[in-house]
Structures are given as structure tokens and as C-alpha cells.
Amino acid sequence: MARRLRDAHRRVRALPLPEEERARLHRRLLTICDVAKRDLDHAELRLRAFTKDLDAISPP
């Protein structure tokens, strides 16, 4: 999970997006990190959805 969160963070940072959009994605990712502290299963589901959205913006 930690590796996938790190990779998602790197992908967000590398996206050629306006700063507002990048900040929104970072906030979403931080929320997933916070959820992971309490509920790994739920965080896994949210991270999968987040990664899917990233793939739609820019394939890996």
C-alpha cells in the first residue's frame, strides 16, 4: 500500500495540469493516506478508484 501511495503521489506531481487541479488531486490522495491509517480495506478501494482516474487523465 505504501509503495502504491508513493507511486500515485509521483504521478500526480508529474502531470502537466494547472496548479488548482494538481492541488485537488493531492488533497484527494492525502485523504486516502488518512483513511489508510484506520481502514486499509477502504483505503485500498479508494486508491484503486484514484489510480483509475489518474489513468484516464494520463496513462502510466
| pLDDT digits 0-9 by tens, 17-58 | 999 999 999 999 999 999 999 999 999 999 999 999 999 988
Other CB atoms within 10 A of residue 16 CB: 7
Model pLDDT, residue 58? 84
Chain centre to alpha carbon of residue 18: 16
- Judge whether 49 and 4 are in contact, CB under 8 Å: no
pTM over 0.85: yes
Find cell 488531486 and name the residue.
25
CA distance 36 to 30: 10
- Above 80 in pLDDT, residue 60? no
Give residue 59's pLDDT band: very low, low, confident or very high (50, 70, 90).
Answer: confident
Give residue 20's pLDDT.
96
